């Protein structure tokens, strides 16, 4: 497969960063260690997208163009939403799956 050895550049949007911080801040009010774990897991997960980001399923939503976004679950409750363009992976959102993120 041609993409096996391909390396991607991961770019995290300002919106995704702000949402991650908001989620971590909220979580820290209950459990600081869990908030730190969320941030560390996000870093590891985002870094993992440098290799084979196609491994994750597409985001199915009637309001989004089919095949545009992919999703990756973080810490059982958070969803990392990203798109792939050429050799770039753009992380556009971090959402709490318990909320309506439409």
End-to-end CA gap in the chain: 35
Alpha-helical runs (H) found in the chain: 14-28, 32-48
- Looking at residue 95, what DSSP letter applies? E
CB-based contacts of 100, cutoff 8 Å, min separation 6: none
CATH number of 2-96: 3.30.2310.20
- Residue 3 is predicted with a pLDDT of 55
3-state secondary structure of 91: strand
Instruction: Give the whole-angstrom CA distance, residue 84 versus residue 34.
Output: 29
For 64-102, how does the pLDDT look when each residue is reduced to its tens digit (9 = 90+)? Answer: 777 789 999 988 889 899 999 999 999 999 988 887 655
State pTM to two decimals: 0.84
For 11-26, how does the pLDDT look when each residue is reduced to its tens digit (9 = 90+)? Answer: 999 999 999 999 999 9
Domain extent listing, the chain: 2-96
Which residue did the predictor score with more confidence, 61 or 43? 43
pLDDT band at 2 (very low <50, low <70, confident <90, very high): low
């Amino acid at each position: 497969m041609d993409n096996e050895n391909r390396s991607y550049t991961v770019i995290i949007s300002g919106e995704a960063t702000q949402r991650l911080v908001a989620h971590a801040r909220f979580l820290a009010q209950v459990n600081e260690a869990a908030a730190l774990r969320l941030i560390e897991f996000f870093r590891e997960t985002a870094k993992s997208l440098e290799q084979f980001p196609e491994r994750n399923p597409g985001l199915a939503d009637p309001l989004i163009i089919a095949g545009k976004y992919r999703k990756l679950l973080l810490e059982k409750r958070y969803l990392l939403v990203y798109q792939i363009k050429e050799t770039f992976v753009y992380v556009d959102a971090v959402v709490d799956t318990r909320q309506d993120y439409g």
